[in-house]
Amino acid sequence: MIMSRIEAPRDDDAADDRADTGPLVGRLRAGLPHDAVLTDPDVLASYAHDMAGFCPAGAPAAVVLPRTVEQVQHVMRTATALRVPVVPQGARTGLSGAANATDGCVVLSLVRMDRILEISPVDRIAVVEPGVVNAVLSRAVGEHGLHYPPDPSSWESCTIGGNIGTASGGLCCVKYGVTAEYVLGLDVVLADGRLMSTGRRTAKGVAGYDMTRLFVGSEGTLGVVVRAVLALRPAPPRQLVLAAEFASAAAACDAVCRIMEGGHVPSLLELMDRTTVKAVNDLARMGLPETTEALLLAAFDTADPAADLAAVGALCEAAGATAVVPADDPAESELLLQARRLALPALEAVRGATMIDDVCVPRSRLGEMLSGVERIAARHGLTIGLCAHAGDGNTHPTVCFDASDPGESGRARESFDEIMALGLELGGTITGEHGVGVLKKEWLAREIGPVGLEMQRAVKRALDPLGILNPGKLF
């Protein structure tokens, strides 16, 4: 319940739109630097899609790279006047096709709006533009003794705007939560070019509807985020990591349940199955134990992490761990975390292409999810590696396949859908952090039902009555 403020439209906007009916590129260039509007066909093709497979992408009419809020407003006013769709983009590291172009659209790439505008140690906030890279922000606030917790695996390249658009998570979600919990306020350019501010800079605030949360996770379908006020935390102590090997995925999931039931609050609790461990070793020669069926990584950033790791290690052994190895120092811990961050690119190298599921289930059903995925892989004769943010039940079954083989590609798609259906059967959700985009929009309807879908479409119509913002995404 947070206040929202909408800038009044300029009196001359409608008149300007009626008076100028020139071609799209000409009208865009009238209010933008020449190098901000790209039309070369090869360049346009490079902006057509994100990192998701099996998602259609159209051919944009232009790519625009604004540097200011006013330039974004000009793009949206032009698009509204000409009824041209606009697809907002960040670094295009997404995995659901949410940033994919549609035919004839304007791709609105926000990567040049990359300034950190303010860091306040007293208020514990950062004010940033959407193109700021996650890792750049993390390092900048670290210089002030502060911490921005959300850390997606692509944190070295993904942008804060993209993180907000997909409500992304990361490895530390089990303790610190996801992006939505750190967005206090936003400046958003609406479909018609008006600028709306939502939220607050204060620690508390409950004035009106929570419009900020509405935009977080909206995947560019309701407005274009041009500024964000982000909550920060004091920098935690350096974390230490423990690696536990298990003879079965079920035993590893039992350990996860014991850890959470015991009241422990790890800063990270990650799981990698045998297929994923082998893929990481093949890619990076990390020396991970390939004899294990499941590798569980637990970390603590507390005042006495060694004691916490010892307690968790005992629980892992009680669950059947065949080996429990705590890291000796932060450098060894970072090496283990790097192995986990390499999981998705490593699995992509197995067969050349992947379909990455993002199904989140209750922690208590995690074992059933893993065993179900194993059965699906066997039934379709496919390699499916699984890594997971085990502490919050967010699994990433990754279907590895040869995209040049139609039969294998078809089985990959079928297995992907079966995994999502399994997640819903177990009381879960089709996406914990990657978003819906193009890839999962038919599954969104199944999850939220007809009434939920009707309400979401009503919100879309209220903010984007012409339907020009990222059309074809979500539903």
For the stretch 58-107, pLDDT in tens is 999 999 999 999 999 999 999 999 999 999 999 999 999 999 999 999 99
DSSP for 324-389 reads EEE-SSHHHHHHHHHHHHTHHHHHHHHHSEEEE--EE--GGGHHHHHHHHHHHHHHHT-EEEEEEE
CATH number at residue 408: 3.40.462.10
Q: Answer yes or no: do 94 and 213 share one domain.
A: no
Q: Answer yes or no: do 22 and 123 share one domain.
A: no
Instruction: Look at strands 268-273 and 294-300 and give their pairing.
Output: antiparallel
Establish if 440 belongs to a structural domain.
no
Torsion of CA 420, 424, 427, 428, to 10 degrees: 40
Establish if 453 belongs to a structural domain.
no
Torsion of CA 167, 171, 173, 179, to 10 degrees: -30
Amino acid at 381: G
Establish if 163 belongs to a structural domain.
yes
| H-helix segments, 151-297 | 160-166, 173-176, 211-215, 249-261, 274-284
| Domain endpoint, select from 181, 207, 234 | 234
Establish if 452 belongs to a structural domain.
no
Q: Answer yes or no: do 245 and 387 share one domain.
A: yes
Q: Answer yes or no: do 63 and 178 share one domain.
A: no
pLDDT in 10s for each residue of the chain, 475 residues: 334 434 433 434 333 333 333 499 999 999 999 999 999 999 999 999 999 877 999 999 999 999 999 999 999 999 999 999 999 999 999 999 999 999 999 999 999 999 999 999 999 999 999 999 999 999 999 999 999 999 898 889 999 999 999 999 988 999 999 999 999 999 999 999 999 999 999 999 999 999 999 999 999 999 999 999 999 999 999 999 999 999 999 999 999 999 999 999 999 999 999 999 999 999 999 889 989 999 999 999 999 999 999 999 999 999 999 999 999 888 889 889 899 989 999 999 999 999 999 999 999 999 999 999 999 999 999 999 999 999 999 999 999 999 999 999 999 999 999 999 999 999 999 999 999 999 999 999 999 999 999 999 999 999 999 999 999 999 9
Establish if 438 belongs to a structural domain.
no
Q: Answer yes or no: do 247 and 373 share one domain.
A: yes
In this structure, is the dihedral angle defined by the CA atoms of residues 446, 450, 456 and 462, taken in order, positive or negative? positive
For the stretch 3-35, pLDDT in tens is 443 443 343 433 333 333 349 999 999 999 999
Establish if 442 belongs to a structural domain.
no
How many domains, in total, are found in the chain? 3
Q: Answer yes or no: do 74 and 87 share one domain.
A: yes
Other C-beta atoms within 10 Å of 237: how many? 13
Structural contact between residues 80 and 192, judged by C-beta atoms closer than 8 angstroms: yes
Instruction: Look at strands 394-401 and 359-360 and give their pairing.
Output: antiparallel
Structural contact between residues 374 and 249, judged by C-beta atoms closer than 8 angstroms: yes
CATH number at residue 224: 3.30.465.10
Q: Answer yes or no: do 202 and 252 share one domain.
A: no
Tell me 31's DSSP state: T
**Phi (first) and psi of residue 83, to 5 degrees:** 60, 45
Q: Answer yes or no: do 393 and 249 share one domain.
A: yes
Give me 128's structure tokens.
Answer: 């940033």
pLDDT at 402: 94
Tell me 156's DSSP state: T
pLDDT at 12: 40
Q: Answer yes or no: do 51 and 130 share one domain.
A: no
CATH number at residue 17: 3.30.43.10
Distance CA 457, CA 162 (A): 22
pLDDT at 4: 40
Give me 389's structure tokens.
Answer: 């943010």
Establish if 70 belongs to a structural domain.
yes
**pTM assigned to the model:** 0.91
Establish if 451 belongs to a structural domain.
no
Q: Answer yes or no: do 338 and 284 share one domain.
A: yes
209: containing domain: 116-234
Distance CA 399, CA 353 (A): 8
pLDDT at 153: 85
| Domain endpoint, select from 234, 259, 293 | 234
Q: Answer yes or no: do 96 and 23 share one domain.
A: yes
Q: Answer yes or no: do 273 and 192 share one domain.
A: no
pLDDT at 30: 96
| Domain endpoint, select from 209, 234, 259 | 234
In this structure, is the dihedral angle defined by the CA atoms of residues 333, 335, 341 and 344, taken in order, positive or negative? negative
